[in-house]
Amino acid sequence: MATLYQKLLHVLDTRMPVLTRCLVRFRAQFILVDQVSAWIAFRRLSRAYAPQLAKRIPSLALWQRAFAAYLRQNPRNLTIYRAFMNTELETVRQSASPGQSGPPILVSVVKDDLERLKMVIEHHRKLGIERFAILDNGSTDGTLEWLVQQNGIDVYQTREKFQSLKKYGWINQLLARYDYDQWYLYVDSDELLVYPDCETKPLQRLIAELEQKNRDRMAAILLDMYNDQELYGSSDKTVPINEQYPYFDADSYQLGISRRGPVIKGGPRKRLFSEHQEDSPLLIKFPLFKLKPGLIFESAHYLFPYQKNHAVHAALLHYKFLASDLKRHEIIAREGNFQGGSREYKRYLNTYRDNRHLTFIYPGSVAYEDSRSLARIPLIQPIDHETSQGQLP
């Protein structure tokens, strides 16, 4: 939307400069109205919910200060703060006191995704993760029951109806229950973090390298993984998911910069489902970060403050198109709870219905064998590579 607005201003400015200046002033007035409305709502939410929430979150005042700064720049994202303040996250099981800082904690929100979740837990235990904080959003497939039986997993629950911005409010509240100056790894239940030499280099060593460079967050490219069959084709449950879907795109990415940091778009979903660049999915995330006062988890894609969002040093293997995902995507499209009324999922389904023989395979497809395969993607840089803030290679 911002890009279209800028293009319109450019055209008008060359032909009708007076009208352009009027439009800029008109938009500035709308932004001011948004900021005032957000501030009023912020104060009301704080008065209504802070006394009770402070009993669970001793550092609540610091979080409110951070949200105040965040909403001054992003007043239309008030839903994140509202969900942070008014959502009751029920503690189902706690493995240790939340206030104990130490090794990195993996955080995730999950619903009805037990098959992939088992893979996620196993993979990240191998990287050295010993503690998990998982929020279940009303699973009915046995996910919650399985989680409470696992060692080292703090389990929380909310039955609130899912919506993308609300989810980020939940994640911030979950983080607030733990410590500042603690490293966290956020992944969705269909993502696996990989980085150069991850087979032999534990996550703690990677964090030590980041700290040596005075960095408190790390970006990763989202690699959509697929097989050589038709989209949503049948699968073999006796074979591990990561072995069934070994391929990723090596050369279909477009790079850019935004006020929030680096932008990566493209990949197989852009090739198959998006005619226009604006419609293609955002493929950069900041999964690994050290929580400090002032940080807001705006989304998995960007952390606030934005000026610390740097270049890419890792990848998230993204298993989004399993055979069972056809039904999942139909539900998401019907409910419309994801960004833009789940329009991205509607594109998946419309394209699939028009051509049920679609495949992601193309000449640039590469099989992921181990972390050395990441060398095929030149924008993944070693941590000791000197990169200016927000700069991409």
The tens digit of pLDDT for each residue in 244-256 reads 999 999 999 999 9
Whole domain around residue 46: which residue ranges? 2-76
Residues 134 and 261 in one domain: no
Q: How many domains does the chain have?
A: 3
Q: According to the model, what pLDDT value does residue 386 have?
A: 55
Instruction: Calculate what percentage of the chain has a pLDDT beyond 70.
Output: 87
82 falls within a domain: no
253 falls within a domain: yes
Q: According to the model, what pLDDT value does residue 299 have?
A: 95
| Angle 387-381-199 from CA coordinates, rounded to 5° | 140
Residues 44 and 178 in one domain: no
235 falls within a domain: yes
Instruction: Supply φ then ψ for residue 383, to 5 degrees.
Output: -60, -30
pLDDT tens-digit map of 209-226: 999 999 999 999 999 999
What pLDDT band is residue 91 in, cutting at 50, 70 and 90?
very high
Q: According to the model, what pLDDT value does residue 383 have?
A: 86
Q: Which sign, positive or negative, has the C-alpha torsion 298, 303, 307, 312? A: negative
Q: Helices (H) and strands (E) in the chain — how many of each?
A: 12, 13
Residues 68 and 100 in one domain: no
Residues 185 and 220 in one domain: no
- Looking at residue 155, its amino acid is V
81 falls within a domain: no
pTM above 0.95, yes or no: no
Beta-carbon neighbour count of residue 120 at 10 Å? Answer: 25
**In which residue are the tokens 């993607």 written?**
377
Which class for 382: exposed (0-12), middle (13-18), buried (19 or more C-beta within 10 A)? exposed
What pLDDT band is residue 313 in, cutting at 50, 70 and 90?
very high
Q: According to the model, what pLDDT value does residue 32 have?
A: 57
Residues 204 and 324 in one domain: yes
What pLDDT band is residue 98 in, cutting at 50, 70 and 90?
low
Q: Give the integer Cα–Cα distance in Å for 76 and 69.
A: 13
Cβ-proximal residues to 2 (8 Å cutoff; 6+ apart), any chain: none
Q: According to the model, what pLDDT value does residue 236 have?
A: 86
Q: Are 134 and 155 in contact (CB under 8 A)?
A: yes
Instruction: Calculate what percentage of the chain has a pLDDT beyond 90.
Output: 74
Q: Are 12 and 19 in contact (CB under 8 A)?
A: yes
Cα radius of gyration rounded to whole Å, the chain: 21
- Looking at residue 174, its amino acid is L
Q: According to the model, what pLDDT value does residue 95 have?
A: 77
Specify the range with the lowest mean pLDDT, choosing from 33-47, 167-181, 198-212.
33-47
Q: According to the model, what pLDDT value does residue 272 have?
A: 92
Q: According to the model, what pLDDT value does residue 101 have?
A: 64
Cβ-proximal residues to 144 (8 Å cutoff; 6+ apart), any chain: 92, 136, 155, 157
- Looking at residue 372, its amino acid is R
pLDDT above 80 (res 119):
yes
What pLDDT band is residue 293 in, cutting at 50, 70 and 90?
very high
* Prior bond of 202 cis (ω within 30°): no
Residue 92's H or E segment, with its range, is strand 90-93
What pLDDT band is residue 27 in, cutting at 50, 70 and 90?
very low
Q: According to the model, what pLDDT value does residue 74 have?
A: 95
Q: Give the integer Cα–Cα distance in Å for 265 and 263.
A: 7
**In which residue are the tokens 């994640």 written?**
171
pLDDT tens-digit map of 129-172: 999 999 999 999 999 999 999 999 999 999 999 988 999 999 99
Q: Are 322 and 241 in contact (CB under 8 A)?
A: yes
Straight-line distance from the first to the last Cα atom of the chain, in angstroms, rounded to the nearest whole number: 27
Instruction: Supply φ then ψ for residue 192, to 5 degrees.
Output: -125, 125
Q: Give the integer Cα–Cα distance in Å for 125 and 113.
A: 18
Residues 237 and 361 in one domain: yes
- Strands 253-258 and 261-266 come out as antiparallel
CATH number at residue 106: 3.40.1380
Helices marked H in the chain: 2-15, 17-53, 60-73, 78-86, 114-126, 143-147, 164-176, 203-212, 241-244, 267-273, 325-335, 339-354
Domain boundary among 173, 189, 205: 189
Q: According to the model, what pLDDT value does residue 21 have?
A: 52
Q: According to the model, what pLDDT value does residue 336 have?
A: 85
Q: At what angle do helices 78-86 and 17-53 cross, to 10 degrees?
A: 10
Residues 160 and 49 in one domain: no
Residues 203 and 307 in one domain: yes
pLDDT above 90 (res 15):
no
Q: Give the integer Cα–Cα distance in Å for 233 and 240.
A: 16
What is the pLDDT averaged over residues 102-129?
96
Residues 163 and 261 in one domain: no
Q: According to the model, what pLDDT value does residue 12 have?
A: 44
Nearest of 371, 305, 320 to residue 191 by alpha carbon: 320
Residues 349 and 369 in one domain: yes
Q: According to the model, what pLDDT value does residue 235 have?
A: 81
What pLDDT band is residue 31 in, cutting at 50, 70 and 90?
low
- Mean pLDDT, the chain, rounded, equals 89
